[in-house]
Amino acid sequence: MKLTVKQQKFADNYIKSGNATQSAIDAGYSKSTSRSIGQENLTKPDIKNYIKDKLAKIESHKIMDATEALQLLTSIARGETKETVISSTPFGTTEDEKTADLKTRISAMKEILKRYPSSDKLMSAKIRKLEAEADVAEQKARDARSGGQDVGKQFDKMFDRLKEDSGK
């Protein structure tokens, strides 16, 4: 059901003020009934949904999404984003615009790379090592269930060799 003009004005004013009585007055309802009308309007499903949808739109514009966060990190890492630095001197204060220092730029790069672990050779090696350790553990569990002690010792030796190889 579509809202009437008064109901929409009420809802819009309520979103701004959070005051149902004043919103009813501002929407054109009678001052003498504004308190009860305001409370009643807040219980109507169509008005409630309208307010809920409007608030959701407002919030979605205020909250940074992942793309925007990555764009900001990228601009910091590239030195495109400037910050204002206020310095005091014997003659007063000065404001200067400067790019992020190297430490901040490196931190931004690390944050970006965390989101792309497959492009990091060290991370790939760690993942391979963890997968191999998981395979060995699974085989040991199977051998323990089947009573194959000799095979378990062989896997221990293989696991030790994996550790030695990954340390090189």
Interior/surface letters 39-55, b for 16+ CB within 10 angstroms, e for the rest:
eebbeeeebeebbeeee
Q: Tell which wins on pLDDT, 103 or 61.
A: 103
159: pLDDT strictly greater than 90: no
**pLDDT given at position 3:** 93
Please say whether the beta carbons of 109 and 77 come within 8 A: yes
Averaged pLDDT for residues 24-35: 95
Lowest mean pLDDT among 7-16, 90-99, 107-116, 149-158: 149-158
pTM beyond 0.85? no
Q: Which residues pair with 97 in a beta bridge?
A: 84
Residue type at position 31? K
> 138 pLDDT band (50/70/90 cuts)?
confident
Residue where the block lists tokens 């949808």: 53
The whole-angstrom separation of Cα 156 and Cα 144 is 13
Q: What is the dihedral of CA 67, 73, 77, 82, to 10 degrees?
A: 120
Closest CA to 7 of 35, 33, 41, 51: 41
Asked if residue 125 lies in contact with residue 166, where contact means CB atoms within 8 angstroms, the answer is yes
pLDDT digits (tens, 9 = 90+) for 76-113: 889 898 888 888 888 888 888 888 888 888 888 888 87
Does the structure show a pLDDT above 60 at 117? no
- Report which of residues 63 and 37 the model is more confident about: 37
